[in-house]
Amino acid sequence: MAGTEASIERGAIAWPPLIEGTLIKRYKRFLADVRLKDGRIVTAHCPNSGSMKACCDPGRRVYLSFHDNPRRKLKYTWELIDMPTSLVGVNTQIPNRLTAHAIAAGQITELDGYASVRREVKAGKNSRIDIFLESPDRRPCYVEVKNCTLVNDGLATFPDAVTVRGQKHLMELQRLVADGYRCAMFFLVQRMDADRFAPEDRIDPDYGRKLREAAENGVEILVYDVHIDLDGIRLGKPVFYDLNFFT
């Protein structure tokens, strides 16, 4: 087990106590069977709706958190998988939290200097954007955060499955820019083995096209990786991106 709040620096997130196991299989998107070190097999919640290509190999070491909540059907949550070149964060709830913490801690140069950092803010009639930044001396800024775990030979790509919802977010950000707001699309690579990023046009060409369109229309593109270990996760360094890598 690992993870204590006291050992985690400002702007980072500590894991709850982690339980080691071996992945048997992931199925129905949100379920994963895991063999614990004591031999028991448990079914864990997989908080990731993507395909999880390149980070869900059976037989890999994984780490779960345990939640003794009587309202929960599944007591375990899958948090990490140990891949050959990096630990990988599975939980898609982490990127929004981590990015907001990092902004508040002044760790993202491009988004530094805002007095207020709010999460899950309504934008328009039927949508919410992950982070909203305000300050008296500058334009308000909307930041949409996406979790990236698909990495091959150092190239991180997003998405790992067709995402109509992601495409709608890009359209919403463009509308907000036209209304006078600053907007940023923030890709968090939740692993440590990527040195470049590109939209995954081979999986979702419409998303790649709309991302390039958003960039042309004033939506800023930011890509960062993380430092991740069994104590916690913190923001890493900016990652070079090429929006036309596959075009």
Q: Report domain extents, the chain.
A: 12-87, 93-241
**CA-CA-CA-CA torsion sign (124, 219, 11, 140):** negative
pLDDT value at residue 132: 97
Q: Which phi and psi angles does 165 have, rounded to 5°?
A: -60, -45
- Is 141:132 a contact under the CB 8 Å cutoff? yes
- Structure-token pair, residue 6: 């006291």
> How confident is the model at residue 8, as a pLDDT?
52
DSSP letter assigned to residue 7? G
User: What dotted CATH number matches 12-87?
Assistant: 2.40.50.580
From its phi and psi, is residue 60 left (phi > 0), alpha (psi between -120 and 50) or beta? beta
**What's the pLDDT score for residue 31?**
97
Contact between 2 and 18 (Cβ < 8 Å) = yes
Sequence-distant (6+) residues with CB within 8 A of 161 are: 49, 50, 51, 203, 204
What are the pLDDT tens digits along the chain (247 aa)?
A: 444 343 457 789 999 999 999 999 999 999 999 999 999 999 999 999 999 988 999 999 999 999 988 889 999 999 999 999 999 999 999 999 999 999 999 999 999 999 999 999 988 777 899 999 999 999 999 999 999 999 999 999 999 999 999 999 999 999 999 999 999 999 999 999 999 999 999 999 999 999 999 999 999 999 999 999 999 999 999 999 999 999 9
How much is the pLDDT for 123?
Answer: 86
**CATH level 2 (architecture), domain 93-241:** 3-Layer(aba) Sandwich (3.40)
pLDDT of residue 7: 42
In order of 190, 200, 222, the CA distances from 237 in angstroms are 12, 21, 11
CB contact at 8 A, 144 and 173: yes
